[in-house]
A = this chain, B = another copy of it.
């Protein structure tokens, strides 16, 4: 997905919010703000929004000298989600359609996104869970279910820390031996890295790799060779969250995007309403027999 004009004021606000979250030093806020204004004034709008996200958060890390400013937030939401996990797991297992319930919960967890909302509280996660369980999934669930059961080699692209525990619920409903989970290569916002995969026990469940990049999405040119090879060879990609949708929506590959539509630009691009639970498959995503 390209960057729309409406993304620009949002980048500026996000950059300011993030700088404030990371430090109280107003000279840093101003430096980040001025640099991001300069960068956006010249940006190539054919680039996807996470390309600017990468720029902004590199800038914040460099300006503050803090290589992982969201570490505490990531730890907090990993612990919080792990505390919820047993009850959510029980809800999945006692439901009429465990795969569908797990899918809804995985989408519910996509609310833990500090790029979109840096004032997120636990109450919003509870709300997102209850809302998801009574909402329809906007997409072809049967196609997803069929494709997952037939694919021999699935690459699941994780999104954020905390959220990754919700992904675990979904992964546990799929054939574990056929799944590889990919996380970001370096810290960016609250996106999940290998540390989060380990902290939430997913490394003991499936193979976990990192993509070598610090993009809040998946820009293939920024990823390491090992990841690109796995991506190319995967029979099916499951891509979680807005950032992965924004960066991969035009890549030719069998991909199921699963996400909560959290902003009007994404919702318009997807043809859904803000807040929708989205399961979108790229044209050729349903693997034939």
Point out residues on A near B: beta carbons under 8 Å: 5-6, 8-10, 12-13, 16, 26, 29-30, 33-35, 37-38, 40-42, 45
Q: Please tell me if the beta carbons of B9 and A5 are within 8 angstroms of each other in the complex.
A: no
Q: Known contacts A12-B12, A37-B37, A38-B41; can you find 13 more A-B pairs with CB under 8 A? A: A5-B16, A5-B29, A6-B16, A8-B12, A8-B33, A8-B37, A9-B9, A9-B13, A30-B45, A34-B41, A37-B38, A37-B40, A38-B38
Report copies per complex: 2
Q: Please tell me if the beta carbons of A30 and B5 are within 8 angstroms of each other in the complex.
A: yes
Of all chain B residues, which has the CB nearest A26?
Answer: B5
A12 partner, pick from B9, B34, B35, B45, beta carbons under 8 A: B9
A167 to B178, CA, bound (A): 72
Of all chain B residues, which has the CB nearest A38?
Answer: B41
What residues on B are CB-neighbors of A26 within 8 Å?
Answer: 5
A38 to B10, CA, bound (A): 16
A208 to B65, CA, bound (A): 57
What residues on B are CB-neighbors of A37 within 8 Å?
Answer: 8, 37-38, 40-41
Q: Closest approach, in angstroms, between the C-beta of A241 and any C-beta of chain B? A: 23
A40 to B35, CA, bound (A): 10
